[in-house]
């Protein structure tokens, strides 16, 4: 399935981004994480963008609200 992705949240580090990704995907919502800045210079302490399918942000809100 092909999705149009939209920025949902920005996390302060890779660990937080992966936790949000795991929580969202655990509820069946496809999720991507990408470094905020240059992909060639990222580290686990870089900021990351959490992306969800366009139009599904309200689903992500509900999932994270339950945490």
- pLDDT value of position 52: 98
- pLDDT value of position 39: 79
Beta-ladder partners of 11: 48
pLDDT in tens for each of the 67 residues of the chain?
Answer: 788 999 999 999 999 999 999 999 999 999 999 999 887 877 888 999 999 999 999 999 999 999 8
- pLDDT value of position 37: 87
How deeply is 19 buried, as exposed, middle or buried, from its count of CB atoms within 10 A (0-12, 13-18, 19+)? middle
Residue 24 CB neighbour total at 10 angstroms = 21
How deeply is 48 buried, as exposed, middle or buried, from its count of CB atoms within 10 A (0-12, 13-18, 19+)? buried
Domain count, the chain: 1
Q: Which structural domain range is residue 41 located in?
A: 5-65
Contact 20, 64 (CB under 8 A): yes
Sole residue written with tokens 């999932």: 63
- pLDDT value of position 35: 93
- pLDDT value of position 2: 87
């Amino acid at each position: 399935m092909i999705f149009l992705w939209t920025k949902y949240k920005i996390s302060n580090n890779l660990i937080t981004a992966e936790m949000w990704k795991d929580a969202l995907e655990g509820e069946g919502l496809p999720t991507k994480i990408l470094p905020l800045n240059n992909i060639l210079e990222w580290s686990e302490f870089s900021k990351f963008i959490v992306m969800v399918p366009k139009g599904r942000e309200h689903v992500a809100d509900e999932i994270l609200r339950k945490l």
